[in-house]
Amino acid sequence: MSLKKYPQGHVFYRNLHSVYPLVERGQGLYLFDRNGKKYLDASGGAAVVNIGHGVKEVAEAIGLQAEKVAYVSGMQFSHVPAEKLAEQISEFLPFGDAKIYFLNSGSETVEASLKLARQYWVERGKTAKRYFISRTPSYHGNTLTALSLSARKHYQETFKPMLGKNTKVPAPYCYRCYKDETYPACQLNCAHELEKAIEKLGKENVAAFITEVIGGATTGAAVPPPEYFQIIRKTCDQNEILLITDEIMTGAGRTGKWLASDHFKLVPDIIVMGKGLTSGYFPLSALAVKKDVVDPLFKKGKSFLHAQTFSHHPVGCAAGVATLNYIKKHKLVERCARIGKDFLSEISTLRSHPHVGDIRGKGLFLGVEFVQEKNTKKPFLRKQKYVEHFLSKAMEKGLILWWNTSQADGTNGDLILLAPPFIITEREISLVHEKMEEILSEMEKIF
């Protein structure tokens, strides 16, 4: 067997066998590579780009802040961008008197949320509360604790000896119900599994339940039934367990509301956000916490036992302020809700293709799941690499999509995620639809 040569250059890319197009610029929904090829970004990268490329207001805000002061330690100074951004975020949170901690990525923020939950119980004298419950399928990040809480078998195998043990309950992934039931006849069994898991561990030992609100790439924007989070919130309250919601993909307007939690009138204890908070113009994430969760640390004279060099980064916070200002000025959350209905309607016509098993989502956050057999929902085998072939054809046609695999049974399964910038037009929606229609037709000849 002959091995391919490494791509030229010194950059250590994740895929060691691919040569990526070299992007020179972006404008709106489009990217342009060095050869002049134009790509329509229908996924916003990894559901990151909310306002599009080339927004001068954000670029200028970053430059101006860098000229004033590029960096100060968040353990020594505060600054106007952090104060302003925290105030802006607090305006759309479902709880008052919030405290907001800025970090650099979703994975980091998930780690910080878990450490805060643990410290909260320690400071309250309930030191046995050390276990975390998450869902399967799910994804919360690539740092070790976040990966432990995620349910992506193909990510975890190599690092299994390094990962912590935790309990997982079934996600509200209705297309592939773990009991093969249908809503509402199922009586929300998946939600009641949390209570069973707590009973098994002992509520005195459980610190928090962490959950995506609307599923991310792992379940392809799976939306839970309306009552799901009513049951979850009640269960957490009855058992003195903190509820952490992962809004890293869905926060900052992606689903047509500022937070996906708003669709369910859900009030979590801790919210983690990232990605679209700066629309990718600067790496920034945020941990938003009820004041009640921070109070025990304050009353004991303690500090939060977590710090990172680039916490509360001035340039990142300036990018966040400018991004949120732009979203509000142009009413992009409202636009996302409005045009998201048209997006779902048009993309849903692809259900007629034999390889399309399900299409779901909210706002500009949709998942398309592929199957080998529609009636049985039988997935393509992983070795067939269906979604890789699909993505390759999409790139050839200048269409950028996000994807996931193995969601069907832990090994097999293929889906794509559609999460374009909020500025997408009806014509561009039609272009996405047309290109996907072409690809599906070509895939039928191969598979």
Summarised one tens digit per residue, pLDDT across range 93-147 is 999 999 999 999 999 999 999 999 999 999 999 999 999 999 999 999 999 999 9
Mean pLDDT of the chain: 96
The pLDDT tens digits for 228-253 are 999 999 999 999 999 999 999 999 99
Reported confidence tier of residue 9, pLDDT bands at 50, 70, 90:
confident
Q: Domain residue spans in the chain?
A: 23-54+331-446, 58-329
CA dist., res. 316 & res. 320, Å (int): 6
Reported confidence tier of residue 198, pLDDT bands at 50, 70, 90:
very high
Q: Which CATH class is domain 58-329?
A: alpha beta
Give the three-state DSSP class for 162: helix
Q: Quote the pTM value.
A: 0.97
Angle at which helix 314-329 crosses helix 80-90, to 10 degrees, equals: 40
Helix or strand holding residue 209 (H, E): strand 206-212
- Give me the pLDDT at residue 6, please: 65
What's the sign of the alpha-carbon dihedral 382, 384, 390, 393? positive
- Give me the pLDDT at residue 4, please: 55
CATH entry, 23-54+331-446, from 1.10.10.10, 3.90.1150.10, 1.10.8.60, 3.40.640.10: 3.90.1150.10
The pLDDT tens digits for 155-180 are 788 898 999 889 999 999 999 999 99
Exposure string for 175-205, b = 16+ CB within 10 A, e = fewer: bbeeeeeebeebebebbebbbebbeebeeee
- Give me the pLDDT at residue 1, please: 38
